[in-house]
């Protein structure tokens, strides 16, 4: 399984969208500051995730959530 996930920064309340094969480990990496895109926005918490059957579907979903329509979808869901 692959996961598309959304994190919210407790520092600035902004969202970060990503994907990973190992969701638990990836979240740990984000919160330890090992990911450049989020290291200055810690702590982060998972606010949404989806499981996908393939790498390509997870990447496709990540790209979808990063669009204007995707951000609007997340606002309605969260």
Identify the pLDDT of residue 73. Answer: 94
Rounded to 10 degrees, the C-alpha dihedral 7/21/53/17 comes to 20
Q: Span 2-77: which CATH code?
A: 3.40.1440.10
Please state, in angstroms and rounded to a whole number, the distance separating the CA atoms of residues 38 and 57.
23
- Where along the chain do its domains lie? 2-77
Q: pTM of the prediction?
A: 0.93
User: What three-state secondary structure class fits 62?
Assistant: helix
The pLDDT tens digits of the residues spanning 4-59 come to 999 999 999 999 999 999 999 999 999 999 999 999 999 999 999 999 999 999 99
Q: Work out the angle between the directed axes of helices 55-65 and 68-77 (0-180°, nearest 10).
A: 90
Closest CA to 43 of 18, 5, 16, 75: 16
Q: How confident is the model at residue 65 (pLDDT cuts 50, 70, 90)?
A: very high
Q: What is the pLDDT of residue 22?
A: 97
């Amino acid at each position: 399984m692959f996961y598309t996930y959304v994190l919210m920064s407790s520092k600035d309340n902004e969202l970060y969208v990503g994907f990973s094969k190992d969701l638990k480990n990836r979240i740990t990496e984000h919160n330890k500051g090992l990911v450049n895109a989020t290291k200055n926005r810690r702590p982060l918490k998972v606010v949404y995730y989806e499981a996908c059957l393939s790498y390509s579907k997870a990447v496709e979903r990540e790209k979808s959530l990063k669009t204007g329509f995707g951000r609007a979808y997340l606002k309605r869901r969260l």
